[in-house]
């Protein structure tokens, strides 16, 4: 436990976590870079084997990376549980650690420490303690929260109670920017909330990618709903051909009941009871709406699965299947991508006196064809008695469907995180101790300052406060002595 909350361990854990993340950014990650991972394994078989065995090709989803994230979250929580925000110890910044003997004894301990501070000033006044009230009013007027060091029985001065030390001194502590001390706790607690919200989303939520062609429906796995894509629009910039817009007109059906409808574009999802439908991707489906062919100088339009007579012959043809990026893998037809790079059409050709043939006709190679056998294998065949003039493929829309019950907690965590950091870095916490004592009819007030940002950051303000304190005492009577390091 002591190890887990030590700063050395924490910083070591941070740096180890950073190194692991960096490793994941340079080693190809599956499934997105599966081919790159395979090439890596081929190029460096020993190193690749080691990385593969340790799950580094899918590092961010490996069990040990999840455990590392869990350790980080646990560590953050433990640190804040073990080190609560600084309490109301009036001597924080001056005396360290637990002390015995009560506030009066602490004041006696503190007085020599005050004099060691680089922000230190002394104001003296002859004729008693009437000036203390004015000195304290000066602090209050500048927005300082002034409090007596303790509720000790003893002197009541200038409307404020102060502790009375054995030495007869009275002490106050003036604080400014105290809210800063909550910044660390709030920001660290927020990190734990963010981790928990992420975990809730992972365990209780779901995510699925659904590809649906225009005019078709597709079922969801995690809800008894179907997604209907009524219309899909894609537009490109004329200048460079980059996508300008892609939009899906979606209907979400729960049986016969429509539960949601929207034209979904990137950055503007459809929300149905917390289940969100995002426009994620698009491509050319293995599906087509129509094919235009020509034979004997005449053109015909083929519809999917509808047999048509070839002009000028007694043969008939049926368009059955479409692949946008045709290839032959292990002797069988295969589609390589969802882009129309090598479009190909499978047709069933019936000629009188011949058995029916299944042919693959390639759009970019009109004088060639491949015959598909009953076992699915293909071999070269003579060209068919027609030419494919064009295929009107169907586009599919990639809809990312997600449900994340931790979403609102995540947003709350983010908000608290930022608020905590603003408190932590934006608020300047500083403190001034004021210790006054009387001897031989003369009043002596000692001021010492402390700032979380260091003495340099508080120097000018402390000097001004010390100057005001001297003026306050002087205005109540004749100041006999002034000075000190802070006021020099």
Contact residues toward other proteins (CB under 8 A) are: 7-8, 10-11, 14-15, 17-18, 21-22, 24-26, 29, 60, 198, 207, 237, 239-240, 242-246, 265-269, 276, 278-280, 400-402, 404, 407, 410-411, 414, 417-418, 421-422, 425-426, 453-457
Nearest distance in Å: CB 396, other proteins:
17
* CA–CA separation, 200 and 404 (whole Å): 8
Q: Which two tokens stand for residue 57?
A: 């090709």
Nearest distance in Å: CB 290, other proteins:
28
Dihedral sign, Cα of residue 218, residue 220, residue 224, residue 228: negative
Q: What angle do CA 418, 424, 430 make, to 5 degrees?
A: 155
Residue with Cβ nearer other proteins (30 or 286): 30
Nearest distance in Å: CB 60, other proteins:
4
Nearest distance in Å: CB 83, other proteins:
9
Nearest distance in Å: CB 257, other proteins:
24
Q: Which single residue is written with the structure tokens 């990376």?
A: 65
Q: What angle do CA 356, 357, 358 make, to 5 degrees?
A: 130
Q: Which single residue is written with the structure tokens 């009560």?
A: 102
Residue with Cβ nearer other proteins (49 or 426): 426
Dihedral sign, Cα of residue 483, residue 119, residue 423, residue 148: negative
Q: Which two tokens stand for residue 104?
A: 């009066």
Nearest distance in Å: CB 255, other proteins:
25
DSSP class of residue 423?
A: I
Q: Which single residue is written with the structure tokens 């209780």?
A: 204
DSSP per-residue codes, 314-344: S-EEEEEEEESBEEEETTEEEE--SS-SB-E
Residue with Cβ nearer other proteins (174 or 275): 275
Residue with Cβ nearer other proteins (84 or 374): 84
Q: Which helix (H) or strand (E) holds 66?
A: helix 63-82
Residue with Cβ nearer other proteins (7 or 439): 7
Give the three-state DSSP class for 194. helix
Nearest distance in Å: CB 28, other proteins:
10
Nearest distance in Å: CB 403, other proteins:
9
Residue with Cβ nearer other proteins (44 or 425): 425
Residue with Cβ nearer other proteins (65 or 322): 65
* CA–CA separation, 488 and 477 (whole Å): 22
Residue with Cβ nearer other proteins (134 or 414): 414
Q: Could you give the count of Cα atoms lying within 13 Å of 460 in the half-sphere of its Cβ?
A: 1
């Amino acid at each position: 436990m002591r190890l887990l909350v030590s700063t050395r361990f924490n910083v070591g854990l941070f740096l180890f976590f950073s190194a692991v993340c960096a490793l994941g950014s340079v080693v190809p990650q599956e499934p997105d870079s599966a081919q790159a991972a395979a090439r890596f394994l081929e190029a460096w078989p020993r190193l690749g084997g080691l990385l593969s065995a340790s799950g580094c090709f899918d590092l961010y989803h490996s069990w040990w990376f999840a455990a590392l994230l869990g350790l980080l979250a646990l560590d953050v929580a433990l640190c804040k549980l073990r080190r609560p925000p600084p309490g109301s110890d009036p001597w924080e910044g001056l005396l360290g650690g637990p002390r015995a003997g009560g506030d009066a004894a602490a004041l006696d301990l503190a007085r020599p420490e005050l004099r060691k501070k680089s922000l230190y000033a002394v104001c003296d006044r002859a004729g008693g303690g009437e000036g203390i009230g004015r000195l304290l009013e000066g602090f209050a007027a500048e927005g300082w929260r002034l409090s007596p060091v303790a509720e000790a029985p003893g002197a009541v001065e200038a409307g404020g109670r102060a502790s009375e030390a054995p030495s007869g001194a009275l002490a106050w502590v003036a604080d400014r920017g105290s809210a800063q001390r909550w910044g660390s706790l709030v920001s660290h607690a927020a990190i734990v909330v963010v981790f928990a919200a992420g975990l809730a989303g992972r365990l209780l939520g779901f995510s699925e990618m659904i590809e649906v062609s225009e005019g078709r429906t597709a079922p969801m796995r995690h809800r008894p709903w179907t997604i209907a894509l009524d219309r899909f629009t894609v537009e490109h910039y004329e200048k460079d051909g980059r996508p300008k817009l892609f939009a899906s007109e979606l209907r979400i059906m729960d049986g016969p009941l429509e539960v949601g409808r929207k034209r979904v574009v990137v950055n503007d999802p459809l929300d149905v009871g917390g289940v969100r439908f995002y426009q994620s991707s698009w491509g050319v489906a293995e599906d087509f709406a129509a094919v235009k062919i020509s034979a004997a100088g005449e053109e015909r339009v083929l519809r999917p699965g509808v047999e048509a007579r070839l002009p000028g012959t007694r043969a008939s043809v049926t368009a059955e299947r479409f692949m946008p990026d045709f290839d032959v893998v292990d002797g069988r037809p295969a589609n390589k991508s969802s882009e129309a790079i090598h479009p190909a059409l499978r047709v069933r050709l019936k000629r009188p006196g011949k058995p029916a043939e299944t042919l693959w006709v390639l759009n970019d190679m009109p004088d060639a064809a491949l015959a598909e056998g009953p076992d699915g294998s293909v071999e070269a065949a003579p060209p068919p008695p027609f030419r494919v003039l064009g295929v009107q493929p169907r586009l599919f829309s990639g809809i990312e469907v997600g449900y994340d019950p931790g979403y609102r907690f995540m947003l709350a965590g983010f908000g608290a995180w930022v608020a905590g950091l603003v408190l932590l870095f934006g608020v300047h916490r500083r403190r001034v101790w004021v210790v006054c004592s009387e001897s031989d009819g003369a009043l002596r007030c000692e001021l010492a300052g402390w700032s979380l940002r260091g003495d340099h950051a508080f120097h000018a303000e402390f000097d001004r406060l010390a100057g005001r304190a001297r003026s306050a005492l002087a205005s109540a009577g004749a100041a006999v002595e002034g000075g000190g390091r802070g006021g020099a």
